[in-house]
Amino acid sequence: MLKMVVCVSGGGTNLQAILDSLGSGRITNAEIIAVISNNAGAKALERAAAHHIPGIVMSPKKYPDREAFNEAFTAKMRELGPDLIVLAGFLVRIPPRMVAEFSNRIVNIHPALIPSFCGVGYYGLRVHEKVLERGVKVTGATVHFVNEGMDEGPIIEQKAVRVREGDTPETLQRRVMEQAEWILLPAAIDDIANGRIAVKGERVVRLDTVCRDT
């Protein structure tokens, strides 16, 4: 059974997609052992509590400096001992030590088609604002493993979403969540939990021969 810790900063819609997929059997051989948020008021913690999952608040603001937070955060994750760390809208950079200790065991969902609209400063609604400013016709979401860079780890899966005339950042954000994020992230977790993918160098390769319909 794959043990997951899910890290969330806000409403937790991707967390809810994971919970729903666990409940429906779309994700198998996995369980969430804790939800961590840097925001004590995050709705994600309420979602966790509703499913009797421990919620943990760890905010950099509560520590004297970032190094102290990084040490405490890494120690907490080491204590929890997850097989997989899922960043589901987590607006805190993962400490390099944690990345090293949990190599190829941290995944992130990004609301754009990496390498477009990613990196420093590209998060949340800001991504969709920049997509509309640039005038692109297709955007989407990406699930990737986390490495030392920002949105630079090996890509697990991507899904395209069309930009519509008259879109606002809010409407586009919602469509990307519904048509890409809430599909890709549970599918990637299920693949990892059931040994269907592996990292080879800088690439993710499939170990099964059955194509998944995402």
Active site residues: 110
CA torsion through residues 74, 48, 106, 198, sign: positive
Residue the block writes with tokens 């586009």: 172
Q: How far apart are CA 68 and CA 176, in angstroms?
A: 36
Q: Which helix (H) or strand (E) holds 19?
A: helix 13-24
Q: Report the length, in residues, of the chain.
A: 214
3-state secondary structure of 45: helix
Alpha helices in 25-179 (DSSP H): 43-50, 66-80, 96-101, 125-134, 169-176
Please give the angle made by the CA atoms of 46, 15 and 134, to the nearest 5 degrees. Answer: 120
